[in-house]
A and B are shown apart, each in its own frame.
Chain A
Amino acid sequence: MVDSIIAGCSVIAAAIAVGFAGLGPGIGQGNAAGQAVEGIARQPEAEGKIRGTLLLSLAFMESLTIYGLVVALSVLFANPFVGS
């Protein structure tokens, strides 16, 4: 009984963790991509450099989402609160 309550709570917690972790980086990535497009429109000759920097910073932002995913995964697959 207690285990099933913990299991249900864990699934909800995983959903919340991933959902909210996706929220902020989504806004950040949108901002970054928009600014990069603006930069390319202003200076088309700098496209290669801007693209490289953009990809790198997008991956950095994505890693924040990944932290949420790691929390969700550990809650789902390696839950420390469920009795052995």
Chain B
Amino acid sequence: MYTFLLSKIEVGSHLYVNFSDTLHLHGETVIVSTLVVSFLTLFLVLGTRDLKKVPGNFQNLIEVVYDLVKSIAFTQMGPSYYSQFLPFTATIFLFVLGSNLAGALIPWKLIEIPSGELAAPTNDINTTACLALLTSMAYFGAGFKIKGIGYFKRYIKPAPFFLPINIVEDFTKPLSLNFRLFGNVVADELTVTVICSLVPLIIPLPIMMLGLFASSLQALIFATLASAYIGEVIE
């Protein structure tokens, strides 16, 4: 495929691991997301192993995280349903936050791989597409679970002629979630890369801090929107 190369910046080059002609996976995405998932598992298992009445430092940290995800789910879904969907919201939030921070904080450039480079798993559009599709499956599932077949009444809700708009909305929701996360992460990395290629010292630091802030905010937004979509169908 023909690509422009402006000062050696490439978007969308991956380390392909081929299984057959049609089946291949993106090596660096799989490696980094596996690392993120195992780190998160370790963090949560160690943090919740022996819970005490008077929490220590580590348990305090875990409780802050729990309060945060609980407040996201609680404000979007209301007091009676939030506990059922809290695991989903928490998983999405922690995974997106973990992978964004992994891309921003760890100096992956030091590790050379044959093609592409190790970076946040969310800068691969397949990861974000998967997360977005999981969100749509979650809200379909939530609607069917809570409302049964009456879920379909939602499509003709304000008036019957809203039907096409409501159907299109089901497709635009995951699409916008997908592009929002992907675009933000790629935009952060691209800005840092471009500025680094112009001025490699000091100057990129504020931009990197901004990127760190924006990527945590994106995790919050993704989780908030996912719970808002679920809350919308079950209300």
Interface residues of A (CB under 8 A from B): 3, 7, 55-56, 59-60, 62-63, 66-67, 69-70, 73, 76-79, 82-84
Question: How far apart are the CA atoms of A63 and B180 in the complex, in Å?
Answer: 5
In the bound complex, residues from chain A placing their C-beta under 8 Å from that of B176 are: 63, 67
Cβ B11 vs Cβ A70 within 8 A: no
Inside 8 A of B4's CB, which chain A residues have their CB?
7, 76-77, 79
Q: Is B129 located at the chain interface by the 8 A CB criterion?
A: no
Among B11, B179, B221, which residue has its beta carbon within 8 angstroms of that of A56? B221
When distances are taken between beta carbons in the complex, the residues of chain B under 8 Å from A78 are: 1, 3, 11-12
Of the candidate stretches B26-34, B82-90, B107-115, B181-189, the one touching chain A is: B181-189
A67, B1: Cβ atoms under 8 Å? no
* Complex contacts, A69 vs chain B, CB 8 Å: 183, 186-187
Instruction: Tell whether B146 is near chain A: CB-to-CB under 8 Å.
Output: no
**B217 near A: Cβ within 8 Å?**
yes
Q: Which of B1, B183, B224 contacts A66 (CB 8 A)?
A: B183
Q: Which residues of A contact B182 (CB under 8 A)?
A: 70
CB distance from A78 to the nearest CB of B (A): 6
CA distance A66 to B184 in the complex (A): 6
How many Å lie between the Cα of A67 and that of B180 in the bound state? 7
Q: Tell me, rounded to whole Å, the shortest Cβ–Cβ distance linking A53 to chain B.
A: 11
Chain A at the B interface: SS class: helix
Assess A84 versus B180: contact at CB under 8 Å? Given A56-B224, A66-B187. no
Cβ of B221 and Cβ of A60 under 8 Å apart? yes
Name the prevailing secondary structure of the B interface residues. Answer: helix
Residues of chain B contacted by A67 (CB below 8 angstroms): 176, 179-180, 183
Interface: B226 (CB within 8 A): no
B179 touching A84, Cβ below 8 Å: no
User: Bound state CA distance, A84 and B3, in angstroms?
Assistant: 9
Question: Is B67 an interface residue, CB under 8 A from the partner?
Answer: no
A69 to B1, CA, bound (A): 21
B residues in contact with A7, CB < 8 Å: 4
B10 at the interface (CB under 8 A from A): yes
A11–chain B nearest beta-carbon distance, Å? 8
From the candidates B1, B12, B184, B186, name the one contacting A63 in the complex (CB within 8 A).
B184
Q: Say whether, besides A3-B2, A7-B4, A77-B4, A55 and B217 are in contact (CB < 8 Å).
A: yes
Q: Known interface pairs A70-B182, A73-B186. Does A56 touch B220 (Cβ–Cβ under 8 Å)?
A: yes
State in angstroms the CA–CA spacing of A77 and B182 once bound together: 15
